[in-house]
Structures are given as C-alpha cells and as structure tokens.
A and B are shown apart, each in its own frame.
Chain A
C-alpha cells in the first residue's frame, strides 16, 4: 500500500473535489481517496502493484485539472 499526495490546480469548488474523488476511487487498485478543495490537494491510498502513480495523474488531469506536484506521504506517520 502506498499513499500519495497530489497537488492540484483548477478546482473551483467542493463539487470539483467530489468528482475527482469519485473518479480516482473508481480506478482499480485505489483503496481510498480524499480530495480537499480548500487545500487544493488529493490524498490517495492505493496498491502500487495494481495501479501506477502516473495512471492516477492521468485520471485527475483528464477532466481538465492539473497535477502540479506529487509526493509520497511518509510511512506510518502523519
């Protein structure tokens, strides 16, 4: 399991955040996702053997949002 934080530009409201969340969660291999409009970021827990990080970037960008950076969340800690 891996958690990655994506910094996203182009969200206008909470509805955008909700639609990114449901798009990402539909992807096989993604276990859980939370998207915050206020912080402009998405946090995704996924199985790296089932889905690649690049694939997740594509999923987020397809409706027109931009991923400006991504970082792995440090293991077992906040």
Chain B
C-alpha cells in the first residue's frame, strides 16, 4: 500500500480542492528547481504578495507547495506562472519519482564529476611552478586525491575501467608536468588553462551556471551563486592577463582556480546526491512494493484484478487473512476484521452482512463477500493519503546551516571585494597622484576567487554520512535533513500508544486454574481449541503454551462461533473456550472466578474461559503489553528535557492505563487520523514537535511533525511519511537518535567552520592585492582535507560504503508498480 499507487485523475499539474475555510480553495503542486533551503522563503514571499492569497507553505524535503486562496480574486494559473517566472518547474504532486530516474541522475552527476576531475588534473600540472617551493607540491596532492576519487566512482562500473581511467589520469598529468618543466608550455599555458576553465564553467558545469542565474533572479545568494562569482572572477582575471600580457602576471593560475572551484563544487553536488539517494533507496527497500489486487466476482467467476480496475458496485471475495481491497458493505459472510488503520488497535471487530468495511483493513478468520462502495479518491485510505500530502507541504522546514551562514557570508565577500577595489584605487591615487587600476582590479578579483569556500559543499553531506553510519549501528535509519538538523531542536514528543509504546499485539498476562497445578492442562486445552485460528487472541494463547513447552493435544472436531468462542471435541470430550459470557450461556458456572473476571476486564484485559464437559477449568487474561524498554525510554526523553504526549485512537481507559504506566501526563484518546495531525500542528505553535508512530492512522501526524519517527515494523505509509525509521523497533533508540542528531549537527558546525576558516583568513590577505591566486587553491586543498579528516577520522569505511551502496541493483525486490 504505497502512496505511489495512487493514480492521477486530472491532467493539470496540481491538485485542487475546497479549503476547510469558507470561500477558499487550496491547491498543491510539486515544485522542481529548489536548490537550497532559502528557496522556501522566496516562494512563500513571491506567492504571498499576490492578491487573494491567504497562506503559502513550501516544503524543501518533499518539494511541495500548498496555497490557500480566494477563488474570487486569484487564479491558480497565476501562481504557477509566478513560480515559472522565477525559474521553478511544476509537476503533478501525486506522481512519485521512479527508482530509475534517481539512478539516471546519479550516473549523470558521477559522469560530470569524472569529466571535471579530468579538466582539473590537466590544469594543475600546467600551472605547476617549481620555483615557488613546497607549495608546488600541494596541487600534486590534490591531483592524487582526485585520482583516487575517480577510481572509486568508476569502481562500481568495473575494476579494469577504474584502473585504466585512474592510470590514464596519471599518465596525462605526468606528461603535462614533463612538458611544463621542460619549458614547452610557457607560451601556451594561459591559453590551455583558459580553454579548460571555459570548458568546465560553460560545458561540464553549465547546470550550475543555470541554477546560479535562477537563484540570482530570485534574489538568493546561495552556494551556486558564490561559486559562479569565484569562477567568473578567475576567468576575468585570466582574460585580463591575456590582454595586458605582462610577465609575472598569474594568468594561467587564475584560469586554473576556476577549474578547481568548479570541480570541487561538482564533487560536493555528487556527494549530496549520493546521501539523498541512499536514504530514499533504503526506505524503498523497507516497503512492500507488491501490487495490490482484488478477487472480483464477475459472471460467477473469481478473477484477480489490479485494484484500479475494480469499480463501485462490484462484489469482491476476501479470503481469511487478506487485506480488504476497498471500502464496501459485507454482502455475505462473517468475520473479525482488523481495523487498526483507523484506531491503531489490532483487535478484530466483528463484521457480518450489512456492516461497513474499510479498504486496507485486514480480514480475520472468515471469508467475506464484499460489495464495493468506494474506490480511489472517495475511499477512506485515499483520504488518509490526502491528509499525509497536505501535511507534507505544511511540515515546518528548517533553514540549513550552510544557507544560514551564506546569508551573511556572500554579501560580506562582495563588500570586501568592492572595498579592496575602491581602497586600492583611492589609496594609490592619494599617495602617488595616479590611480593604480590594475592593482585595484587584481585585489578585487583575488578576494572573489578566495571567497568561494569550496569545502562548504561537502561539509554537510560528510557529517550526514558519518551520522547515518553511527545511526545504522543502532538500527536507526535517518533519512532527511530534518532528522539530522531538526531532532536536536525538538522539545515535545508525541507518541502513539498501540504498536509504539506497547507491543501492539495481545500477550497472555495471567492464567488462573480452578484446580491448583492445573495451569498446564488449562493452557494445553485452550491452545488446542484455538490452534487453527489466526485471530490475534488465539495466537497469544498458542504462543503462551509454546513458550511454556506445552504441546496442544489433537482435536477431533471443532466449531468456531465468531465473537464468542470455540467448541472443540478432544478425546471425545467437549471443550468450550471463549468469552466468559458465552460459557455462562452454555450453562457453565464460573463460580468464584466470576469476580476475578470482572476485575480483569475492568483493568482492560480480554478474558477467555475454558470449560470441559460443562465444568470450568480456569481463565486466561490477555492484553496488549508495554514494550520492555518503554518506561526507561520515556524517562530518558524526559531527562533530556522533552515533554512526552500520548495520542491514540484507542479508548480513554486503555490510554490512561498506558500513560500512567510509562509516566506521561498529557494524553489524547479516541483521536482520528486527521486529528492526530491537527494535534501536532497545535503543539507546533509552542515548540518543535517529534511524532513517533507505526500505523496508517499515524501517517498524517508523522508527516506533519517537525521530525516524524516510524517504527520499522510499522505500515508502509507510516515509514514513507517518517524522517527517522527505527529498524530495531526498540524505543531506547529514541534518545540515541536524538544524541546522534546533536552530535552530527556539532560535526556539521565544525565542518562549516573549517570550510569558512581558511577562506576567511585568505580574504583579508587577498584584499591587499599582494597574493598569488595559487593560494586560493592551497586554501581549498587544506580545508577539504581537514573536513575529510574531521568527519571520517577512524571511520573511513562509512564514506566508501556510502559511495558503494548506491546505484546497485536491488536484489530480491520486485520492480515498483507503475501506477
């Protein structure tokens, strides 16, 4: 049951519907071309300015926008035009990007990186200058490290291809170095590096140029803009060098710096794409991608059809244990149905002729013939999915750390560059009477070249690689930026009850035999009578018997009365197992056990009585139990300063019991799926909220929360909606995940500091106009190396695993269904 299986019913690239408020409508669209977290603010501003627009919400992670507007004043076409004008693309929000497309993008980005490295490795030996001393070796080190990366990028294509390419690079650079040292390149070096720089900026990296231009049109100064400023400053410096043609002017190094910054930027783009794709593929592996089918009765024959082809009014056969394919009314048959998708409770609800059943719920022991009443858009499940999609755009975003820094940094670099130009111009004019334009321009360009902190692009992805690796060791899958940058900021944590705080399935709590020592016999008989039933209560009885080493005896005959119990014959004696009232109806006197039954039922337990030949043998109490680590995990979260809140679809009594057991003060019981998201939204007014859940009914709230956390054993929709997935199904992973979040954020801060540090030192020096552009390359090499060491010290394996783990064919999983 994946969101991907929803088909688009309209050709317009957005979905539209009436809003909850009177005279307002809402549209939702998928937006392409979001290159940084500053984009969300830009879109919200651009659309918010239009007349008739009440509310705009944009999610970066999910690339969705939700607009609420007054249809009397505004038209949706107008919004889309506004977005297109500033360079965004619009696509249907109901279509999910297929796996193949992600793979293609990854291959394209890797190819760009390899091409960029070829250009860099050509440029560096050309400008190598043995007269500058030890600094001359640093570019060689850069060459070497780039060569190693190319080897690893191509490694998945084939070992020999990788070896051949890497050695090809070595041969090329050594040849160029030889020619350079022999003095053959003195004349041609500026022209060669110039060509390489143009090839990189306008050829291999033209997509970055395009993104930078788009960002400028939107008035955003992001990484791409900063890169192009640096690259163009390098090209400008080189072109000026070619024109003035003065000995000692660093024409070739200026061009070479353009090549280098471009290469590093492409490398960081590729790295962040790997991080993104890896997490989305990891989630796809968790999902059950089997297409949903239904057994439709047509002309007295049962045929299996995809759900999309079933229409309202048709009869569908649902066998025991199967999922009910769509909303409908029971036409004939009798069964218990697990409706946990509404309430989260896995205890079956009895359904017979004329009762409503909901698509997606799971049929129990009986076969049902269901008349379908609603499919597709009108069904309960698609309503839940719509709530998830709404929440997707309303999910609060976070400005990424790098973008926050750039907000200040980029203007500063531009101002310093301008000051350097003006300073030299005015200063030289004042001191000597004539303005030294040449020196002024050189200083300005040096600042711009020095200004691009090329390690900044790798600082976030590398800290995520490290954090994700640490998380994986604890059985936690952290998939989005929210997971890493957001979880540490969360102050409130909303927990679902069933399946999250509790096991979500009944277990035996107590057993009471009339005759002392008769527990084994009691359990054996109960298990024998229930052995063939798939009902969760029956399962619990059989499991309890099995755990105690009791083998249920064989049953001669057996009759099940849904909702009541079972009558079985064992060794030609009649055994009744079931509801205590059912036993009483069959003339069994419970005796002094009656008060015990009442007490247990008042405590929220389900009680089963067992009688043989009309005489009661004892009772068994079953119920959902807390996960063993629930109390400790909640205490740890409270110690970390989080406020825990319980939200459940179950009744007040059960909720209260669990809340008291684990020590939660605030709770909401009997909550419907869409209201869970509303509760989260209300809490978000106070502080950031994390939501922990597992069921379909939790999905909208998981999506709405600042950080959604799904249990790994949860339903597909819950997993798809979450930012963090706890594969180990252990609650004590929650405080661990929070620690990892703050630790990897700390790493990110360190990395970003390192990235800006070297350039920060370099900029004032460059402003003096006395510095060779090769120093920009030195700063780059040092900061990139420092960040690699800082992020992966002791665990380089994590990085290589990350590179290797994407783009591999997924084994044993059928291809996703094309909706």
**A interface, CB within 8 angstroms of B:** 1-3, 31-32, 34, 43, 45, 47, 73, 75-78
Contact = CB atoms under 8 A, between A and B. Distances in A.
B551 A73 contact: yes
Contacts of A78: 548-550
Contacts of B733: none
Given A3-B549, A45-B546, A78-B550, 16 more contacts: A1-B527, A1-B528, A1-B553, A2-B551, A3-B546, A31-B546, A32-B543, A34-B546, A43-B546, A45-B542, A45-B552, A47-B531, A73-B551, A75-B553, A76-B520, A76-B551
A22 B524 CA distance: 24
B314 interface: no
20 contacts: A1-B528, A1-B531, A1-B552, A2-B551, A3-B546, A3-B549, A3-B551, A31-B531, A31-B542, A32-B543, A34-B546, A34-B547, A45-B542, A45-B552, A73-B549, A75-B551, A76-B521, A76-B550, A76-B553, A77-B549
Contact of A45 (B520, B521, B551, B553): B551
Interface string B494-531: 00000000000000000000000000110010011001
B554 interface: yes
Nearest to B546: A32
A14 to B, nearest CB: 13
| Interface-central residue, B543, B546, B547, by most chain A CB under 10 Å | B546
Nearest to B527: A1
Interface in B639-672: none
Top 8 A-B pairs ranked by shortest CB distance? Answer: A3-B551, A78-B549, A1-B552, A32-B546, A76-B524, A45-B546, A75-B551, A1-B551
Interface of B: 520-521, 524, 527-528, 531, 542-543, 546-554
B667 to A, nearest CB: 35
Contacts of B549: 3, 43, 73, 77-78
Contacts of A75: 551, 553
A27 to B, nearest CB: 16
Contacts of A3: 546, 549, 551
A53 B543 CA distance: 20
Contacts of A32: 542-543, 546
A43 B550 CA distance: 11
Contacts of B546: 3, 31-32, 34, 43, 45
Nearest to B552: A1
Contacts of B553: 1, 75-76
Nearest to A47: B531
B520 A1 contact: no
Nearest to B521: A76
A43 B547 CA distance: 10
Contacts of A76: 520-521, 524, 550-551, 553
A1 B527 CA distance: 10
Nearest to B545: A45
A12 B137 CA distance: 50
Contacts of A1: 527-528, 531, 551-554
Contacts of B521: 76
A76 B546 CA distance: 10
Nearest to B548: A78
B755 to A, nearest CB: 41
A64 B177 CA distance: 57
Nearest to B551: A3
A75 B525 CA distance: 12
B591 to A, nearest CB: 24
Nearest to A5: B549
A29 to B, nearest CB: 11
Contacts of B527: 1
A68 B468 CA distance: 42
